[in-house]
């Protein structure tokens, strides 16, 4: 009987090296707990977009309601 289930991801397997082996994933920060801190996926996405805008030279005072990135209102 063939096993036709989709393959599952193995959480402990890191990215492949050039030789085909696996590197371990770096450990998560001990205080990383998005649920406990209220960091919803929406919040994390806005944070990442804001960080990219600032890295690109935008000034924080210029990020006002209506400033968008990928259709998301970053200034809200």
pLDDT in tens, 45-58: 888 999 998 999 98
Q: Which residue has the tokens 């063939």?
A: 2
20-39 pLDDT tens trace:
777 776 777 777 777 788 88
Q: What angle do CA 60, 47, 74 make, to 5 degrees?
A: 60
- How far apart CA 42 and CA 73 sit, in angstroms, is 11
pTM of the predicted model as reported, rounded to 2 decimal places: 0.52
């Amino acid at each position: 009987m063939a096993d036709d289930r989709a393959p599952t991801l193995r959480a402990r397997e890191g990215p492949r090296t050039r030789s085909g082996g696996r590197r371990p994933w770096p450990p998560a920060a001990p205080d990383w707990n998005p649920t406990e801190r209220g960091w919803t996926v929406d919040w994390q996405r806005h944070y990442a977009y804001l960080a990219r805008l600032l890295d690109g030279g935008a000034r924080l005072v210029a990020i006002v309601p209506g400033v968008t990135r990928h259709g998301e209102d970053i200034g809200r």
